[in-house]
Structure 1
Amino acid sequence: MTDSLSALLSAIQNASRARFATMEIRISKFGIRFLEVLRRGGYIRGFQYQLPVSEKVSVLIQLKYTEEGPAVREIRRLSSPGKRTYASFDDLRTPVSNGLSHLILSTSKGILYDHEARLLGVGGEVLCAIR
């Protein structure tokens, strides 16, 4: 069994470092929801996929760059299938790296950034850290 989220994170980071404008990858419905969070946070420009979404679908991701470089400087998986990492609402009270990094969590309210989870008062599984 493979960890599809780790594969997605590695592909995005590698494509960003190589300065690709777009990249294509096959992902699941969970991966599509994760990409929606990255787009909402301004880390990617957008993505396109063919409907209907079956088990896995090919997605074209448009990467985002600034004058300083890629919008995704570093993305690191924190929770893995073998060792899940969870954070309660109390654990999320302080910003990560003085606000320079963000955590992405899988919560009962959906996939959220740490600041969104603080506003909603929920905790969950810490998927990754991104800056």
Structure 2
Amino acid sequence: MDQIANMVNMVKNGGRASHEFVTVPFSKIKYAIAECLVKEGYLTSATKKTKKGFPILELGIAYVDGAPKVNEVERVSKSSRRVYKGMKDIRYTKGGNLITVFSTPKGIMTDKQARKEMVGGEVLFKMW
């Protein structure tokens, strides 16, 4: 199973169910993605904890006027089909609600950060 898709779908479903936090199994890439989403305001917190001897990641879900900030998630690059974009192929998004998360040589970052750093990479998912 795709662990990144599982994590972002748990955030989306947790928001729809009005949960304050969701927990997912810890990994370095999931923690980096969570930190990126905290910077963008889609999560309120990302904390590494231990539960029954296993590391977990506790994610605080962000709400705007009682509605979850994460409305939809689309996984772009999958294990069966990897999708890469160069720096010149990263488009600007109108309205500012949509973010695209990339895995680049400089780490996990959003489309805005990737354009600023002038790097491309693997498109992980889109979130709005």
Give the Cα–Cα distance (whole angstroms) in 1 for the partners of residues 77 and 94 of structure 2.
18
Give the Cα–Cα distance (whole angstroms) in 2 for the partners of residues 108 and 36 of structure 1.
17
Deviations 1:58-95 (A, max 9, x none): 12211110116111111211100110011111101x31
Q: Secondary structure at the match of 2:9?
A: helix
Please show how residues 24-63 of structure 1 align to structure 2 within 5 Å: 24-50=23-49, 57-63=55-61
Match of 1:96 in 2: 93
Tell me, which stretches of 5 or more residues in structure 2 are unaligned? Answer: none
TM-score relative to the length of structure 1: 0.88
Match of 1:118 in 2: 115
Identity %: 27
Which amino acid is the alignment partner of residue 62 of structure 1?
G
Tell me, which stretches of 5 or more residues in structure 1 are unaligned? Answer: none
TM-score relative to the length of structure 2: 0.90
The alignment covers a number of residue pairs equal to: 126
Give the Cα–Cα distance (whole angstroms) in 2 for the partners of residues 96 and 58 of structure 1.
33
Which amino acid is the alignment partner of residue 78 of structure 1?
V
1:64 partnered with 2:62: yes
Instruction: Indicate the RMSD between aligned Cα atoms, in angstroms.
Output: 1.8
Is residue 2–residue 79 contact of structure 2 (8 Å, CA) maintained in 1?
A: yes
Is residue 49–residue 58 contact of structure 2 (8 Å, CA) maintained in 1?
A: no
